[in-house]
A and B are shown apart, each in its own frame.
Chain A
């Protein structure tokens, strides 16, 4: 079972800003960096944000990440139709000695 909690869904109209939260604990987000993945329907996950707020080459700057204490968030500004996907946060967990993913958030563009 996932130890990182995300809202099951989020939505917005084109151009709006959408934010997704990720809640963890001291053993994961509280002591390690957070990464975010985007999964388009029927495809493999894609790295969106690493080390809390870093974007890999090719990821638009509309996507941004932040972390505070045992929580993190992903923001999508200027929402576009192609952003409709599932989003997962993830981090290493020192207690479990393993990598943990969030429960996932489905973003819908209205």
Chain B
């Protein structure tokens, strides 16, 4: 059974940093591209970042470019999102999602982890 389990969400002050993790199981992690998607309270979905299966290619939304870094550790079957210079508008539930091998869709999602940026 495919499982994605996010962790690391917390309350952090503006300007602070946080690292999210997404532990993957039930599939060959090294074969799948992964993304982070967030949802601010009461708002819609916003794609944040994407990393290829090899980790060699990464993509970011303009809203986080230069502040967030996505990475993956195949030996630990874990996806990461390093978030620096956090702003109030980064407050959201962050989901990790697996991209289908032969399509652009995300077929499995984690349960999400809440990041709150506030003083």
Task: Return the CB mask of B47-66 against A: 1 if under 8 Å, else 0.
Answer: 10010000000011110000
**Docked pose: A85 CA to B61 CA in angstroms:** 26
- Residue-by-residue, is A1-25 near B (CB-CB < 8 Å gives 1, otherwise 0)? 0100000000000000000000000
- Whether A99 lies near B44 (C-beta < 8 A) is no
Q: Report the separation of the CA atoms of residues A95 and B37 in the bound assembly, to the nearest whole angstrom.
A: 19
Give the CA-CA distance A37 to B35 in the complex, in Å.
15
- How far apart are A93's CB and chain B's nearest CB, in angstroms? 9
How many residues on A have C-beta within 8 angstroms of the other chain's C-beta atoms?
28
Contact (Cβ within 8 A) A101 B105: no
- A33 CA to B106 CA in the complex, in Å? 13
Expressed in whole angstroms, the Cα–Cα distance for A36 and B53 within the complex equals 23
The total of interchain contacts (Cβ-Cβ below 8 angstroms) comes to 67
Q: Which residues of A contact B95 (CB under 8 A)?
A: 44-45
Of the candidates A2, A50, A98, A102, which one forms a contact with B105 in the assembled complex, judged by CB atoms under 8 Å apart?
A50
Contact A98 B60 (CB under 8 A): yes
Whether the pair A101, B106 counts as a contact (CB closer than 8 A) is: no
Contact A99 B112 (CB under 8 A): no
Closest CB-CB distance, A21 to chain B, in whole Å?
A: 16
CB distance from B59 to the nearest CB of A (A): 6
A99 touching B47, Cβ below 8 Å: yes
Size band of the interface chain B makes with A? 20 to 34
What chain B residues lie within 8 Å of A90 (beta carbons)? Answer: 45, 47, 105
Q: B47, B60, B97, B110: which contacts A100 (Cβ < 8 A)?
A: B47
Measured between beta carbons, the chain B residues less than 8 angstroms from A37 are: 45, 106
| Beta-carbon contact of A88 and B62 below 8 Å | no
Q: Could you tell me the distance in whole angstroms from the C-beta of B114 to the nearest C-beta in chain A? A: 12
Contacts of B110 in A (CB 8 A): 44
Pairs A–B under 8 Å by Cβ, sample size 16: A2-B46, A33-B103, A35-B105, A37-B45, A44-B110, A44-B112, A45-B109, A47-B106, A50-B105, A51-B105, A56-B107, A91-B104, A98-B47, A98-B62, A101-B46, A102-B44
